[in-house]
Structure 1
Amino acid sequence: MIILFASLTVLYVSWIFILLTKKEKNISKFFFPDLSVILPAHNEEDAIKETVKSILDSEYPSNIEIVVINDGSSDNTAKIVKNLQKENNIIKLYTTNHIGKSRALNFGVTKASFNYFLFLDADSSIEKDTLKEIVKPLSEGDIGASSGIVRAKIKLNPLTWFQDFEYILSSGWRYLCFLIGSVSVLPGFLVIKKDVFKKIGGFSQDTLTEDFDITLSLKKAGYNAAVTTKAVMYTSTPASIKTLFKQRIRWGRGNFQVIKKHSDMLFSKKFGPIGYFTIPTQLYWYLFSILYLPSVLYWFFSDYYRYFFVQGVFISKDVILYLFKWISSYGMLDLIFKVFTGVYSINPLILATIINYIVTIFYNILIFFNVGKIKFVNFIAYLFIFPYYLFIIFIQFTATIYEIYNSIVRKKTTNVWSK
């Protein structure tokens, strides 16, 4: 555990250094190319109207078109889009037979009229300035694609609060990678030049995370990717543990597949910081999940056994307080207080835990400062983030084992979505 916390602290310190020493370049050029917004949709009747409306309400000075690919939907997605078409002739609708997201995106490109493509999930919405801000980095010669900040749509369901908190940190991490020229993952929300898209062969179908795959292909083709904090997208997130589990298993497996596919980039100086910083960091999280989860569970149950179980105490006020300390930030604050007041003696593990906690808080503050727009529910989520964090690590652990097994038995993966 000491080694785990020490390695994690080193990572966070390196990220803090980047955030403190690097800043996003202010691009003031008047650059607003005609834009084709491509929306792949599969059973999105609950969200697609809001998505299209947010695009139509955008303050963008040049021409835009909205290309909707209705990929095998069995609900009213197509009907809703057709009704929207009656109100605005820039909306195009095409139907495919459940060919999968990657193929649907590639098909949408063939129907696009303009030379710049913005890919956006059909359950997402954007701010009024998002289109203007997301295209600006493409005015720089070495930038082949650009993305922004991804936030979760906040609902009464607390699960969305935790996901929004997580999305902020993920977007912040992509942003700091951009600051050192090492963006390896642009989410499904990205804009790319037509000639660049064709050069890298579009979206591949041999992995479950086409966004990660295309970003690495972009780098191999000699282009960099950009992330701007001024372009914000809000996406629908899973509303149940079951759907969240399925989504993250898909992401975890897909990321593992992409790293394996582009293993020649790992520790390669040819690809700069992506090769020796970003991809190794992502691999680290797979290793971390395998080691951290069993360690934490052992720590939790061994203390419970020692202080309660052997004494025949299964449930009491002290047990409830013990559980509350584990699931909330109160536990760490209580630990720090009792160490500094002499109630607990300090040892290497406690010291490593406290240092890591303080460094993590500082890093989170910097991320929120850069990403902006903090909401009250973000504070609530932070107070009780640890159980959610463990759940995500468990999924990462499961996805890692699953994909290692698939690699051994050489089971093929098809990138076809379901909803």
Structure 2
Amino acid sequence: MEVIFIFISILNSIFVFYFALYFFYTLKIYLLAEESSKGPDKVPSKDISVVVPAHNVESVIEKSIQSVLDQENVRIPKIVIVDDNSNASTKNNIRKVKTWDKRIGIIKLSDGKPSKAKALLIGIKRTSTEFVALLDADTILDKKAISRTFNYLLDKKKSYATCLIDPVKQKGIIYQLICYDRLFRQRILQVVRNYFSCSNLPGCFGIFNKRTFIKTLENGFLEDLISTYRISTKGDEVLLLKQVLAYEHERTNLKTLIFQRIRWTIGNIHTSPFFYRTLLKVGFVKKVIFFSYPLLWYIIHYWLVFLLVMSVVYPSLISKYLIMAIGYSGLVLLSSVVIKEKIYGNPISFLLHIVVFPFCVVIALFMALYTLAEKRSFFFTKESLFARS
């Protein structure tokens, strides 16, 4: 047991280091307004197409497409909706929105194998502009989202850019419990990683150079993780405009949250070889920052559950658990206040996120491992494991 207690102390120390690192740089970036980035409200010098992969999003796709049509200060010659093996309700809504504007085109995929990366590749190749905006069908844009993010990309002369993405505001304790995770990932993890040129390529909204983005997508399953690793190993980066200009609908109950996390966990396991190869190719500082992402997004939840359960048997570990819970709580709470906009102030949903959310992530881990065991492969090449349904 002594060895286990030493291991616990070491891992706790690593977490405390990262808590302090992210807390310091979050305050440095926001409070001192360092690297302030405000996109100019001007019409970008180039046209841009929009690609919207859609799979069973009948309840929100109309709002999503309307937010594209409402964009200001930007020329959008074509909007491509890729119907990725959607259900009947979604198909009906897609046909409906097509009548709204002559720029809207539809690509229908009906091979029974929904895959976002595949849908994106097909949709992007149907556009003719040099730059393309990706928008998930459950994401709603601010009226200046595309123009500001696009201008930021053009001004910096880079190939990839995104903005801060908040959850759509809705009532409900469970929904808010889930939303704290996005606030933490976007306003803390993504912003600090951007400070070190290590931003993640988001799956729900981004603007890209079409030619280079296609190369990052080819032969890959997950459009965000593998693309991020490929971009980083080539010495490039994803720019982050630090303005909240997009809003994504989060899962509305714990069941759908767990199923989402199962897919993400499988994806993380599959892409782990890419992750470790990336660590070998980047410099020391980027190694430290890249390693923080799985540590603070996944492993922290496993660790909180482990310490809480172990403290039942070994009460002396409760202090270790409280240190981790307080450190994580501090960063999550910070993510809700760094941008001067009241998001969620419900203490019940906040406490539930700290206590209940980690158990959901752990359940998803075991179910993901079971799924992989059933498929008899941990590092696989089967697209069926990435089905969106």
Q: TM-score range by the shorter chain?
A: 0.7 to 0.9
Q: 1:215-243 CA deviation, whole Å, 9 max, x = no partner? A: 22122233211122314322222233222
Residue of structure 1 aligned with 2:70, choices 35, 51, 57: 57
CA contact (8 A) 1:153 1:160 kept: no
Q: 1:87-140 CA deviation, whole Å, 9 max, x = no partner? A: 311211111124421111000011113221111111221122222222233124
Residue of structure 1 aligned with 2:21, choices 14, 17, 20: 14
User: How far off its partner does 1:288 sit?
Assistant: 4.8
Distance 1:223 1:399, change over 3 A: farther
Find out whether 1:188 has 2:204 as its counterpart. Answer: yes
Percent identity between matched residues is 18
The match for 2:247 is 234
> For 2:310 and 2:329, how far apart are their aligned partners in 1?
25
Residue of structure 2 aligned with 1:5, choices 12, 27, 32: 12
User: How far off its partner does 1:370 sit?
Assistant: 3.5
Q: Which has the larger radius of gyration?
A: 1
Find out whether 1:119 has 2:102 as its counterpart. Answer: no
User: How far off its partner does 1:365 sit?
Assistant: 4.7
Between 1:180-189 and 1:97-106, the stretch displaced more is 180-189
SS at match of 1:147: strand
User: How far off its partner does 1:193 sit?
Assistant: 1.1
User: How far off its partner does 1:158 sit?
Assistant: 2.5
The match for 1:86 is 99
The match for 2:383 is 414
> For 1:296 and 1:117, how far apart are their aligned partners in 2?
46
SS at match of 1:266: helix
CA contact (8 A) 1:133 1:230 kept: no
The answer for unaligned runs of 5 or more in structure 2 is 1-7
Q: 1:314-361 CA deviation, whole Å, 9 max, x = no partner? A: xxxxxxxxxxxxxxxxxxxxxxxxxxxxxxxxx8963x5565555545
Residue of structure 2 aligned with 1:77, choices 58, 70, 90: 90
User: How far off its partner does 1:277 sit?
Assistant: 2.2
The match for 2:151 is 136
Between 1:278-287 and 1:398-407, the stretch displaced more is 398-407
User: How far off its partner does 1:368 sit?
Assistant: 3.0
Distance 1:60 1:397, change over 3 A: same
> For 1:168 and 1:282, how far apart are their aligned partners in 2?
16
The answer for unaligned runs of 5 or more in structure 1 is 304-346
CA contact (8 A) 1:150 1:235 kept: yes
The match for 1:197 is 213
SS at match of 1:169: helix
SS at match of 1:119: strand
The match for 1:315 is none
> For 2:356 and 2:241, how far apart are their aligned partners in 1?
28
CA contact (8 A) 2:98 2:105 kept: yes
Residue of structure 1 aligned with 2:289, choices 263, 273, 277: 277
The match for 1:375 is 343
CA contact (8 A) 1:138 1:146 kept: yes
Equivalent AA in structure 1 for residue 205 of structure 2: F
The match for 2:195 is 179
CA contact (8 A) 1:117 1:192 kept: yes
Equivalent AA in structure 1 for residue 152 of structure 2: P
User: How far off its partner does 1:69 sit?
Assistant: 0.6
Equivalent AA in structure 2 for residue 221 of structure 1: K
The count of residues paired between Structure 1 and Structure 2 equals 371
Distance 1:365 1:202, change over 3 A: same
Find out whether 1:297 has 2:266 as its counterpart. Answer: no
CA contact (8 A) 2:175 2:253 kept: no
> For 1:204 and 1:372, how far apart are their aligned partners in 2?
40
Distance 1:103 1:300, change over 3 A: same
User: How far off its partner does 1:262 sit?
Assistant: 4.0
The match for 2:123 is 108
The match for 2:355 is 387
Q: 1:27-81 CA deviation, whole Å, 9 max, x = no partner? A: 5554623221111112222211111111112223333532101122231323323
Between 1:162-171 and 1:365-374, the stretch displaced more is 365-374
